[in-house]
Amino acid sequence: QAKGLTKEDIAIRQDLVLVLPERIQAIPDGITSAASHTGGWAATSAHPHIKFDSPEGPVDSDYFNHSEESSQFRNEYEMRKLKQV
């Protein structure tokens, strides 16, 4: 029981609580319906709904070159990692 609430407010809250599971289930999460029947954990490792946007064929060497920004990020990461130890 909540202090300061009218019986009408309590009834409204109870109705909202009863409808909440339906509202949560209605939210699309991008997972196919077959996966949701297993609780989101598929029995196999095949995921046909995953698509890659990478080009066909080999990727040229410039694709993985580090930029100044990525180098700074890496240095900052390594420094913070050392401080944690």
Residue 16 in any domain: the answer is yes
Domain membership of residue 12 as a residue range: 1-28
Residue-level pLDDT at 50: 72
Residue 46 in any domain: the answer is no
> What's the DSSP call for residue 6?
-
The total number of structural domains in the chain stands at 1
Residue 34 in any domain: the answer is no
Residue-level pLDDT at 43: 47
Residue-level pLDDT at 29: 77
Residue 7 in any domain: the answer is yes
Residue-level pLDDT at 69: 86
Which parts of the chain have pLDDT scores under 70?
1-2, 31-47, 52, 54-64
Residue 85 in any domain: the answer is no
Q: What is the dihedral of CA 53, 58, 59, 61, to 10 degrees?
A: 170
Instruction: State the Cα–Cα distance between residues 42 and 49, nearest whole angstrom.
Output: 12
pTM for the structure as a whole? 0.31
Residue-level pLDDT at 85: 75
